[in-house]
Amino acid sequence: MQLGLVGLGKMGGNMRERIRRAGHTVVGYDRNPEVTDVKDLAELVEKLQAPRVVWVMVPAGPVTQSVVDELGGLLEAGDVVVDGGNSRWTDDEKHAEQLGAKGIGFVDAGVSGGVWGLQNGYALMVGGDKEHVERLQPIFEALKPEGPYGYVHAGKVGAGHFSKMVHNGIEYAMMQAYAEGWELLEKVDSVTDVREVFRSWQDGTVIRSWLLDLAVHALDADEHLDKLKGFAEDSGEGRWTVEAAIDNAVPLPAITASLFARFASRQDDSPQMKMVAALRNQFGGHAVESKE
């Protein structure tokens, strides 16, 4: 299968490689001349055979809107655009209507896997019409982890990104719980090897998880996280999750508190946020701030 892929950063570049390893043809475009396959979007569309599929992996908001606008002028009826970035689900509905007026299909795909996705595969939460989703099935199969799990057609347009947003909200709360436990263990005199306590939880406990494995990995590199500042950004999806909870009158105390904790991290050097920052760097390659 042929695929156009727009955005070849940490996620998009690895996705291009994984799809190619599965035997598909990928024509990638990025503003970085060192990684791009074509000089612009027009050349990307020109190199694809109709009906075309173009997957967009660029930052949410104005950048995604700009790419959708340009693709809307280049593609033809019967083509399909996939937004695999972290767009807000309400933007998906707008983009589907915008492209649908020209006969172009639209699919939203929440993608999880971070910098480890090339090796382990990407969890995919997809929204859109059945006919458009089915056309993309070979690409979804190439990207997802091996085995029966890691992919879902979650519902209509917007369902993929809404599901990914909730996933990220849960992720916020889980990281915060590990971070609070780590700080408490570090605080008391009786526990002399916090890193090994975390390591002991990796087998046979109810709180074992990939995030716990990554926490141990981070502590192996910097046992007391002395090299990090207690500062953690938020991607925006935590805020959207809390806003959706308010709109739907659903109580989310743990997720909401974890979002507010990140706000607190920007006021002082928070020990808990050192762990959250370390975890975000481990699974997603997100930047950290060093004390130096």
Distance CA 149, CA 115 (A): 19
Residue 204: DSSP 8-state: T
Determine the length of the chain: 292
Active-site choice (43, 102, 130, 171)? 171
Per-residue tokens: 263? 């706000």
Instruction: Measure the CA angle with vertex 236, ends 264 and 258; round to 5°.
Output: 40
Q: Could you give the strand order of the β-sheet that contains 53-56, starting from the edge strand earlier in sequence?
A: 25-29, 2-6, 53-56, 80-83, 105-112, 123-127, 151-155
SS3 105: strand
C-alpha distances in Å from residue 76, one per residue of 79, 128, 188 = 6, 18, 64
Distance CA 82, CA 58 (A): 11
286 burial class (0-12, 13-18, 19+ CB within 10 angstroms)? middle
Distance CA 182, CA 175 (A): 10
Active-site choice (144, 164, 183, 274)? 164
Per-residue tokens: 291? 């004390």
171 is known as an active-site residue: yes
Where residue 243 falls (left for φ over 0; alpha for ψ -120 to 50; beta otherwise) is alpha
The residues annotated as belonging to the active site are 164, 171
